Structure 1
Amino acid sequence: MIRRLRNAVMILGCLMLAAGWAEADPRTLAPAAQVQPRQRDAVVQPDRIRQTVARYFEKRFAGKAHDVHITLLDPQEPVAVPPGALELNVLPGALEENVGRRLMRVQILVNGREVGLVETLVEIAAYADVIVAQRLIKPEELIEPEDVAIARIKLHDLKHQFAVEMGDVVGKSAARPIPAHSPVKLSQLKPPYAVRKGDRVIIEAQGGGLSIRTAGITKSGGQVGQYVAVSNVDSGREIKAKVVAPGVVRVDY
């Protein structure tokens, strides 16, 4: 009877072990502190990619734009990378001066080693503070401080030639019409005329140690250093004289 009971207990124990009910031998498990969990991959968030591209173009556009906005269009999902010290760089490409929609390549490095390139689609908007005409400025008009102001505009091309300092504009003349509320380009400006058509000027004649001064009326306008037609008030004779100062022309004999 005892022998049958012992056999029954042994059989029951085998069944429980097979079913997983028996307690495992504690000597077969390492302590929890010694178990090394599997190291997971890191990720690069889309906003970090956007910030990297923004810093790149802020440096590229320095001196040409006062503000740069970057909108990330792709990727929109995090990018998985191996764990480690992460670094992102934008690889230079063609058309660096262009704004608008651009396809960039962002290099991902982990512990100093490249692990991938991310094709990045961005929308670039650049803004600059430039000189803007406050009214229609006609050709040959002298530009006064009240004729212009500084305004921030969105740039369509970084190769612009807009005036950005008041000193670039004030005291200059318009080479051609400058519409009101439009940015002033450097190509629209020129040094002011020292004499204008119809001005009464002093004609200086020098030669042989003699200097003669008489009055004249200009037939055309000109800058210092240019030659203009002048009519001698006394004789009515028209001569060519060099503009040497505002209101003064000179004839050399």
Structure 2
Amino acid sequence: MKNRLAQYLRVKHLSMRAFAEKCSINVSVLSRISEATSPANLKHIDESSDLNVDWLLTGEGEMLKRAIDMGTSSTSVVSEKPFRTYFKEENVRMVPLLNIDSVGGMHSANEVGEYEPEFILDMLPFKGAIQGDVAIKETGDSMSPRIPSGAIMLLRRVMEWQEYFGYGHVFVLVLTDGRSITKRGTNGVENPNEYVLCESINPSYPSEELPKKMIFSVWKVIDVLVHEGY
């Protein structure tokens, strides 16, 4: 339980003392948390935080007890936004939303600088997500209207992209210079072994050839959450 509590505090960027005060528990009691912790203290944790007490006790299920419709948690950085209502369906998985972004333009800079440390902003539910998936934000409009600026993308890493790229899909390409770009990858180039053709959805942005040696890793865009407004 101590290890799971420490993991939760790292995800939420909370100190032991701050969490203890939030839950109205003595910090010395919280630091010695165990299976013998009183039901009253567990009730304080359950009522005062988004920590899933069942997960804390057993390690089973999800860390965060988030309302499926994302409508009641005040700790969520996106809970106030009316994302698509498929959160009400079953078979969803909580996926870490990272503090990094991907840009549509190949010559645009990411909003999050390459030297800023990566951390988890929140945990978001996605239908069909699997272990290892992550979520990040899209910046820029070259992939609009399919992926507008501000959308959140569910990404899955392509492990053997050098051997099989999976042309025709939309990917986030992490480049060797630290940038991340969102493009549809195709093989419409003279030398497909060394280059990939990066296409935009927005017709205002031309296609460009990208040397494969500039690619550090490839992430396939599995799903997109769009803030549709009221």
Give the TM-score, by structure 1 length. 0.26
Q: Which has more strand, going by share of residues?
A: 1
Q: TM-score, normalised by structure 2?
A: 0.27
